[in-house]
Structure 1
Amino acid sequence: MEHFYIPLSDRKITLLPITKAHIQEMRKLSSDKDVWTWYTEDLTNPDALEGWMMKRLEETERGEKMTYSVQLNETGEIIGSTSYGHIDWAEGGIEIGWTWLGKAYIGSGINKHMKFLMLNHAFEAMNIERLELRTDEVNVRSRKAMEKIGAKHDGTLRNHRSTQGGRRRNTVVYSIIKSEWPEIRKTIFKEF
């Protein structure tokens, strides 16, 4: 796994393997409630965000996840985070998730850059067969974003998780499989 956990970069962003220094920098991004609307935990408090990110770092150190900090190339600032998780090397399965961006970057196109880097790395370098993305059933923005990158709706996990408001959410599952990647790369990500 370690040889796959490397920086991923394009003209706009670099996904950097997470460090404690990045987590400290992320604290400043925690205060806007809009960023955390769809998260299962309320991370508007800088200490809560730091604790949550420390869990991602620990999971990464145990080999359960590969968590990245999102760095804006133009300024060098850390603007969010994303992860690979549920890694199943034997079956060639992986999930992209645990993704968030500071409010100023939501809807800016950065997410498409992140997804391209992660999809390309998963299919081209890691030899993944199936890549999953998941979200709350009522998170229309996230569902549309998944569909825009060529992911297909596989189904719904009913009453799957608790949310920060105490509601039980249904989780929708989308996927892209290896045989679909060349066409998606050539069409949806042609400018990359």
Structure 2
Amino acid sequence: MSESPTTPSAEFSTPVTLTGSRVVLEPLSHEHADGLRAVVTEGDLHRTWYTRIPAPDAVEAEIDRRLGSQARGEMAPWAVRRLDTGEVCGATTFMAVRPAARKLEIGSTFYAKSAQRTGINTETKLLLLTRAFEELRCIAVEFRTHWHNHQSRAAIARLGAKQDGVLRNNDIWPDGSYRDTVVFSILDQEWPAARTDLRYRLQR
């Protein structure tokens, strides 16, 4: 039996528009395809070996994949749009959603090179975490990244997330290499302090 859009379970996989002072997170659609192609083309992001960022000619298929996961109740996907320029500058999701356990993962995130180190990721995560903890009443939010993605690991730690552990040989990469997955999380009781720090850093 399918979930009604108003049920708590469906809420976890229903992206709603989230607006801050730097960005607006819009429910992902194919209308974002041209903007996301420009994002992954800038700096050849898709060539970074330890990430799964779509190539420019694979953006439509990646949008299809994310919307398919949303339809199955597995994911809530967003496009990230800058408010200063009006341009799409990235994408992000709630994934591995577990409504019954009140848990989810924030992931499948990428930003244009020009959007990195600008506060855009900080505000995006503040918006997502606020929805997760304060609207969906999550008890934990998880982040996962490749062991070799040191930039991502540092960014996750700056959010106030704590490292839970490393899953060795957790996946096989397209080039045949093995992925060790680093797992972080923020718990509901840790959220108030993490929220205060994120707001503080955005005001600096």
Cα RMSD of the aligned pairs, angstroms, is: 1.8
Contact preservation (8 Å) 1:157, 1:173: yes
Which of 128, 143, 162 is the aligned partner of 1:133? Answer: 143
User: How many Å separate the matches in 1 of 2:94 and 2:148?
Assistant: 23
Correspondence list, 1:1-192, <5 A:
1-2=10-11, 5-31=15-41, 32-34=43-45, 36-37=47-48, 38-40=50-52, 43-44=54-55, 46-190=56-200, 191=202
Contact preservation (8 Å) 1:137, 1:171: yes
Matched residue pairs, number? 190
User: How many Å separate the matches in 1 of 2:94 and 2:132?
Assistant: 9
The percentage of aligned residue pairs carrying the same residue is 33
Contact preservation (8 Å) 1:96, 1:133: yes
Q: TM-score with structure 1 length normalisation?
A: 0.91
> Gaps spanning 5+ residues in structure 2: where?
1-9
Letter of the structure 2 residue corresponding to residue 148 of structure 1: R
Contact preservation (8 Å) 1:40, 1:164: no
Deviating beyond 4 angstroms after TM superposition, the runs of 4 or more aligned structure 1 residues are none
Letter of the structure 1 residue corresponding to residue 82 of structure 2: L
Assess, with a 3 A threshold, how the Cα gap between structure 1 residues 79 and 189 changes in structure 2: closer, same or farther: same
Letter of the structure 2 residue corresponding to residue 64 of structure 1: E
Q: TM-score with structure 2 length normalisation?
A: 0.86
